[in-house]
Amino acid sequence: MENVPRLDRLIQRLESAEGLDDLQVAIEELRDQLGVDHLVYHWVSSNGEQYGCGTYDLEWVNRYVEKGYLRVDPVIQGCYQRFHPVDWKRLDWSSKAARQLLQDAIKHGVGNQGYSIPIRGPNGQFALFTLSHNASDEDWEQFTNDNRRDLILIAHYFNQKALELEPGRKPEQAQALSPREIEAMTLLAVGYSRAQAADTLSISEHTLRVYVESARFKLGALNTTHAVAKALSRGVIVV
Amino acid sequence: MENVPRLDRLIQRLESAEGLDDLQVAIEELRDQLGVDHLVYHWVSSNGEQYGCGTYDLEWVNRYVEKGYLRVDPVIQGCYQRFHPVDWKRLDWSSKAARQLLQDAIKHGVGNQGYSIPIRGPNGQFALFTLSHNASDEDWEQFTNDNRRDLILIAHYFNQKALELEPGRKPEQAQALSPREIEAMTLLAVGYSRAQAADTLSISEHTLRVYVESARFKLGALNTTHAVAKALSRGVIVV
DNA sequence: CGCCCCCTCGCAGTTTCTGGGGAGTGAGAT
DNA sequence: ATCTCACTCCCCAGAAACTGCGAGGGGGCG
């Protein structure tokens, strides 16, 4: 495993990428240059669709999806709650499902070591930039320490380009909620009933209802719970 | 204006900061070293609370808050929709309130040029790392281009430390949900009614109800919407 | 072998939410 | 100066969710 080579040139390549294919080529080259087993960038969008590119076997990717590993993966859950890159060893693998996932992953060629960088974009976008490799704890620690900053930057530029190139993200640009709508949704998100929320805002329950309906419409949600979930995952409201 | 000096040492200083005061000192030193007029880190939250440190006059900060500029500031709104750092010139200053804000800002010593880096953390955290200065368009463009990568990194480490030090962050690790409970909550979060969700899982509606109640209890939530919101913001479920 | 948790199912009554109407004011934008 | 949009209020009826009662089988762990 070597240090990130020619950071400047790599970032320039990323910036000049014109299609998702270019990102796939870039990630493979970077994998080779770093000398790690796998390098993956993947993005979970709020509507469930996800785009990713990387060097995992297709078989493993499909298996991961089919088995619903997304829901039990400590890497996902851990990164979702963290800001800084995280070594897989520091995550919580105590649950049975998690250990099973890890064994399965190793069996499919994912290394015993991993390092994942969480990245967040507008509208609740969340992506991971992950390295995996077979190495000793010491070597891996050394490697990740040496390259952390460059990897953070690469992940950033990678995500920037993915955001640019990702099709179908404009329609998802929902209308902004009005201040009152945001207040109403926020109160519902922290457990208030409509009556309580209306009382808190000193308006009639009917008025509050109008806000919630309006917000539901703007967010394209099917019901109040859905609307709160969408508002949260897009960062429209914060609890 | 000079290039970012001694990036390594600066990041080390940030990493070893033990209090918010250290961050204030760090930001002032960095400002002096960069030779820009102002450098500000602030954490924007929609409910109004915010923490920040920087070199703006206290008078200006207070005025900004009192006037409710937060709601009309194109810097906030623009960065909220973007991932990459943005030059203030590229934002939309067409609205009357925005131009008024800009004039007011310049009058209070904020430079005519600005550059803001959006940063996002877990649970919808959103912060800005902003430079402002008096300079010509050409000089400013040159400066920001030369320092972009280093500034992104600094902003990242700054935010990491701010997240660590932020007092109001309670771990509050709740009980884990069972697989079935996670499935149930996830379906509700994507807009399914209880009946639909039960149908999807091929169980009776009542059984599904038991899961939801159980999850609500484990999450310490007051109702289903609250439970979904808590599960989402804790990363227990991913939509 | 109990104990605890996970999974599964039923009934009934009460409360809340949803969706369909209509209506008036004020601020900001064209 | 009109016009849009946010904000406020009201009624009604049906659909859905919540509350509280109870019940049994299966699996892991001390």
B68 φ/ψ sector (left φ>0, alpha ψ -120 to 50, else beta)? left
Average pLDDT over residues A79-95: 88
Collapsed DSSP state (helix, strand, coil) of residue B106? helix
Structural domain B179-233, CATH architecture: Orthogonal Bundle (1.10)
Pairs from A87-92 (Cβ < 8 Å, separation ≥ 24): A87/A113, A87/A114, A87/A115, A87/A140, A87/A141, A87/A144, A88/A113, A88/A114, A88/A115, A88/A116, A88/A132, A89/A113, A89/A137
- Extract the tokens encoding A66: 């089919």
Question: Are the C-beta atoms of residues A128 and B128 closer than 8 Å to each other?
Answer: no
Tell me if A230 sits within 8 A of A221, measured CB to CB.
Answer: yes
* Residues 143 through 172 of chain B touching chain A, CB cutoff 8 Å: 149, 152-153, 156, 159-160, 163
Q: Chain A partners of B238 at a C-beta cutoff of 8 Å? A: 44, 70-71, 76-77, 80
| pLDDT 10s digits, B67-121 | 778 777 888 878 888 899 999 999 888 777 788 888 889 989 899 999 999 999 9
Place of tokens 């201040």: A179
Residue with tokens 């808050």: B65
Q: How confident is the model at residue A171 (pLDDT cuts 50, 70, 90)?
A: very low
Q: How confident is the model at residue A149 (pLDDT cuts 50, 70, 90)?
A: very high
C-alpha span between A203 and A171 (Å, rounded): 33
Class of domain B7-165 (CATH, top level): alpha beta
Q: List pLDDT tens digits, range B148-185.
A: 999 999 999 999 999 888 766 555 556 778 888 888 89
**Contacting A residues, span 168-227, partner chain B, CB-CB under 8 Å:** 179, 182, 186, 188-193, 221-226
Same fold, B7-165 and B179-233: no
Quick one: average pLDDT of B33-41? 94
**Nearby residues of B65 by Cβ (< 8 Å), 6 or more positions away:** none
Report the pLDDT value the prediction gives residue B139, as an integer from 0 to 100. 96
Q: What is the pLDDT of residue B182?
A: 86
Output the furthest CA–CA distance in chain A (Å, rounded).
64
DSSP B70: G
CA of A174 to C1' of D16 (A): 27
Query: A35-49, A78-92, B146-160, B204-218 — which one is most confidently predicted on average?
Result: B146-160
User: Which sequence spans correspond to the domains of chain A?
Assistant: 7-165, 179-233
Mean pLDDT over B225-236 rounds to 86
Identify any residues that bridge with B133 across adjacent strands, giving them in sequence order. Answer: B113
Residue B227 C-alpha, separation from nearest chain A C-alpha, in angstroms: 8
Between chains, do B228 and A233 touch, taking CB under 8 Å as contact?
no
- Which nucleotide is closest to the Cα of A198 by its C1'? D8
H-helix or E-strand containing B113?
strand B113-120
Distance, in Å, from the CA atom of A186 to the CA atom of A183, rounded to the nearest integer, reads: 5
- The Cα angle at residue B198 between residues B196 and B203, in degrees rounded to 5: 150
Distance from CA of A161 to the nearest CA of B (A): 10
Q: How confident is the model at residue A146 (pLDDT cuts 50, 70, 90)?
A: very high
Q: Is A191 left (phi over 0), alpha (psi -120 to 50) or beta?
A: left
Protein-to-nucleotide distance from the CA of A73 to the C1' of D29, whole angstroms:
25
- Note whether A182 contacts B46, CB cutoff 8 Å: yes
Q: β-strand B38-44 against A113-120: which pairing, if any? A: unpaired
Supply B151's token pair: 């500034």
